[in-house]
Amino acid sequence: RHCLSENVVPEAVAGTGVIDTYTLVHQKWHPAMPVPCVVARVAIDGAEGVYITSNILGCEPTDVDFGDRVRVTFEQHDDVYVPLFEKI
């Protein structure tokens, strides 16, 4: 598993992880976008070097911190499922 690899196959990973880094976003980039919101990089449990950058939902943005445990949830947009995270 690494960037630019031609050996790409689906692989099951845990639906949990740890917030590695994050930022509070105060700039409204789209009319439907709530602000402030949290964009975080999540280190996926049991998958060394695998990170997902996404939003943290279900809590106040100021309640998010480095090292917080999170679990994945999915939001459907037509035939696309977007991974989002919530604190656990």
User: According to the model, what pLDDT value does residue 5 have?
Assistant: 80
Higher-pLDDT residue of 37 and 3 is 37
User: According to the model, what pLDDT value does residue 46 have?
Assistant: 96
What's the per-residue H, E or C state across 16-40? EEEEEEEEEECCCCCCCCCCCEEEE
pLDDT band of 55, cuts 50, 70, 90:
very high
Average pLDDT on 26-45 reads: 94
* CA dist., res. 11 & res. 50, Å (int): 11
43-46 contacts at long range (C-beta below 8 A, 24 or more positions apart): 43/17, 43/18, 44/13, 44/14, 44/16, 44/17, 45/13, 45/14, 45/16, 45/17, 45/18, 46/13, 46/14
pLDDT band of 38, cuts 50, 70, 90:
very high
What residue ranges do the domains of the chain occupy?
Answer: 16-87
User: According to the model, what pLDDT value does residue 1 have?
Assistant: 56
